[in-house]
Amino acid sequence: MVPGKQRAATRGADHGHAARLVRFTLLVVLGLTILWAWSWNRGALNFGIDLAIPLRAADRVVAGVSPYQASDFASAASLHPYLYPPPAALLLVPATSVPRLALEVAWAALLLAAALAALRVLDVPVIAWPFVLAWPPFLEPLMAGNVQILLFAAFVALFYQWPRRPRDLHDCAAPPWRAGLLAIAIPALKIGQPHAWLYLLGRRPTAALVGLLAIVAIALVTFPVVGASMWTGWFDQAHRAADPSWMLGGFALARLAPPVGLVVMLLSGAGALLYRGRHAGAVVGALTVIGAPSLYLSGTLMLVPALLLVRREVALVSAILIATSTYAGAWAGILLAGGALAGSYWWPEWLETNAALDEPQAPEN
What does the domain layout of the chain look like in residue ranges? 24-361
In the predicted structure, residue 359 carries a pLDDT above the cut 70:
no
Asked if 101 contacts 107 with a C-beta cutoff of 8 angstroms, the reply is no
Average pLDDT, integer, range 168-194: 91
Range list of H helices, 122-167: 129-134, 136-144, 148-159
The sign one gets for the Cα dihedral 230, 60, 216, 265 is positive
In the predicted structure, residue 117 carries a pLDDT above the cut 90:
yes
- 8 — pLDDT class (breaks 50, 70, 90): very low
The sign one gets for the Cα dihedral 351, 353, 183, 205 is positive
Residues 6+ apart with CB under 8 A from 211: 177, 179, 180, 181, 182, 183, 184, 185, 197, 200
What confidence tens digit (pLDDT) does each residue in 70-107 have? 999 988 788 899 999 999 999 999 999 999 999 999 99
What confidence tens digit (pLDDT) does each residue in 261-307 have? 999 999 999 999 999 988 999 999 999 999 999 999 999 999 999 99
261-265, Cβ contacts within 8 angstroms, sequence gap of 24 or more: 261/293, 264/290, 264/291, 265/291, 265/292, 265/293
pLDDT at residue 306 in the model: 97
The sign one gets for the Cα dihedral 330, 333, 337, 340 is positive
In the predicted structure, residue 237 carries a pLDDT above the cut 80:
yes
pTM: 0.91
Asked if 194 contacts 268 with a C-beta cutoff of 8 angstroms, the reply is no
DSSP secondary structure letter of residue 250:
-
